[in-house]
């Protein structure tokens, strides 16, 4: 629990992640597919607005992170194929780098009482993959996943 394993072999355009969560796959899927839940953890330290989040084959998504200094960072993409508790597949594009797209596949793998979230991300070039790693992705990811741990604990708690 708590540690994200990031693999990015040299000279490949791949990033692979693994992170264990103390929750069943259906809660992980809810936290990744329901906008009201997603913005509670993915924004990490930024406020996040979700303009569109149409979780189905060909459905678009678009959200914006708002930094405290007033800067806004928009991202968008499209879901591909079946989105379910087994996993999700989507394209990912930063508004600031149009035409530079990654293809991100997620799996929610049952592991006894916990779930391993696996992500396989493919970039268009090795250089674009390296730039993503260099952008501070790991820190943002760990902060976001720590918030996701908290959210999952709240979702799993018995209603008072």
* Nearer to a copy of itself (CB atom), residue 89 or residue 137: 89
Question: Rg (Cα) of the chain, in Å, rounded?
Answer: 15
* Nearer to a copy of itself (CB atom), residue 14 or residue 73: 14
User: Please, what is the minimum distance in Å from the beta carbon of residue 58 to a copy of itself?
Assistant: 5
Q: Which residues bind a copy of itself (CB under 8 A)?
A: 11-14, 58, 60, 76, 78, 80-82, 89, 91, 93, 98-99, 101, 103, 105, 120, 122-125
The 8-class DSSP code of residue 24 comes to -
* Nearer to a copy of itself (CB atom), residue 78 or residue 155: 78
User: Please, what is the minimum distance in Å from the beta carbon of residue 99 to a copy of itself?
Assistant: 4
User: Please, what is the minimum distance in Å from the beta carbon of residue 33 to a copy of itself?
Assistant: 16
Q: Give 11's Cβ-side CA count (13 Å radius).
A: 0
- The tokens describing 97, both together, are 């780098």
């Amino acid at each position: 629990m708590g540690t994200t394993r990031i693999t990015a072999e040299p000279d490949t355009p791949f990033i692979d992640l693994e992170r264990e969560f103390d929750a069943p796959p259906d809660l992980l899927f809810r936290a990744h597919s329901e906008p009201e839940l997603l913005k509670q953890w993915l924004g990490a330290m930024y406020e996040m607005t979700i303009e569109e989040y149409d979780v189905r084959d060909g459905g678009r998504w678009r959200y914006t992170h708002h930094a405290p200094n007033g800067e806004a960072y928009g991202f968008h993409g499209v879901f591909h194929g079946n989105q379910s508790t087994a996993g999700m597949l989507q394209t990912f594009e930063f508004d600031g780098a149009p035409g530079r797209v990654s293809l991100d596949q997620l799996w929610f793998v049952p592991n006894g009482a916990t779930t391993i979230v696996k992500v396989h991300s493919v970039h268009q070039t090795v250089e674009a993959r390296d730039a993503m790693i260099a952008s501070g992705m790991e820190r943002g990811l760990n902060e976001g996943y720590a918030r996701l741990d908290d959210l999952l604990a709240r979702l799993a708690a018995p209603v008072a």
